[in-house]
Amino acid sequence: MSKKTAVVISVVFSMAVVVTALAISAFYGNCVRRNCDLYVGRSETFADVRAALSENIRHMRAFDAYSRRINLENTFKPGRYRLERGMDVIEVARMLKLGNQTPVRLVISEARTPEELAARLSRQLEADSVSFVRAIRNDSLARTAGFDSVTLFSVFLPDTYEVYWTITPEQLVRRMKREYDAFWSGSRDERLGKIGMSRLEAQTLASIVYEETKVVEEMPRIAGVYVNRLRRGIPLQACPTVKYAMGDFSLQRLLYEHLKFRSPYNTYINKGLPPSPICIPSKAAIDAVLNYERSDYLYFCARPEFDGRHNFARTLSEHNENARKYSRALAGRGIK
């Protein structure tokens, strides 16, 4: 073969490779139009997945061809997938086949009941609220976590967590238990020993403190008032526990008949802490209980300025005067 012929063959071969690569790229490449999320539920069919994909990618004939080649119709995995602009058909199909999900950022924030928490979880994860409530109230699952069906709710701590969208309610409870243990272990458990409380007791008291105020710097003082009352055997008389007992969180002014509502959660008629937390307290509220302010205050009342802060008192007469001022302020605003 002449040198000239070899060069010609080499050029033709190189061009063929380039043409082939371009053809493959045109058929398979750059299929995702824009960055977006694809959610594939457990109950969805391949037709559902394909329909959702068709809104966000091009080259669907290529996707169908490659899907048949890897039997994607029978092997795709549910999940939340991040489609990024420029991905090719092969990348998208393999991602679905292998279940290479992108985690979601699960936000757990204030909630007063398992039902309220479940509703928030269901808006961020695949499972529905009924399934989450069932898990949170599950006796067997609670026992494995060291709780019961009433107190398992307290395993949820406010924060942002990375989880898969398809995580089951049972898996989430177990994950929260690991986060719960990590939060308490070490210095916080040591503080519990020093103040003579269990994790559940501290968290229950923190839930009351959190419902009383969102002013972080005031939390240790309020916690200290309640600790003083607990140690003296005085009922806590915490208004948020009455609202929780009645299931009416819209009450702006508690009347005498409200204070007599029969419930183990009503701290006006029961001494000590209620059976479980009355909300998911902030971590700041928990730390406020662990580091409560030492004082001789036994009472506090919301300030008539309605600034979210409180006036504190050592004696009942001082407290009654503070309460009268606040009552007049309520009346001035037409709150009865």
pLDDT tens for residues 214-231? 999 999 999 999 999 999
Q: Assign residue 247 a region (left: φ > 0; alpha: ψ between -120 and 50; beta: otherwise).
A: left
CA–centroid distance for 100 within its chain: 23
Q: Give strand pairing partners of 108.
A: 159
CB 163 within 8 A of CB 106: yes
Q: How confident is the model at residue 256 (pLDDT cuts 50, 70, 90)?
A: confident
pLDDT of residue 14: 41
Which residue spans of the chain are classified as CATH 3.30.1490.480? 27-98
Least confident of 239-243, 278-282, 305-309: 305-309
| Continuous H helices in the chain | 3-28, 46-54, 60-69, 89-98, 114-122, 129-136, 139-144, 169-184, 187-195, 199-212, 219-232, 239-246, 256-259, 283-290, 316-332
Distances (CA, A) of 106 to 31, 38, 124, 165: 29, 17, 7, 9
Going from the C-alpha of 55 to that of each of 50, 81, 91, 213, 256, the distances in angstroms are 9, 15, 17, 48, 60
* Dihedral, 295, 300, 303, 309 alpha carbons, nearest 10: 60
The amino acid that residue 274 corresponds to is P
Lowest mean pLDDT among 23-27, 78-82, 109-113, 223-227: 23-27
CA distance 39 to 96: 11
Q: What is the share, in percent, of the chain residues with pLDDT greater than 70?
A: 91
Fold assignment, 27-98: Dna Ligase; domain 1 (3.30.1490)
Count of residues in the chain: 336
In this prediction, residue 18 carries a pLDDT of 33
Confidence at 334, pLDDT banded by 50, 70, 90? confident
Q: What is the pLDDT of residues 121-140, one digit of tens each?
A: 999 999 999 999 999 999 99
Residue 22: pLDDT over 80: no
Proportion of the chain above pLDDT 90, given as a percent:
76
Mean pLDDT score of the chain: 89
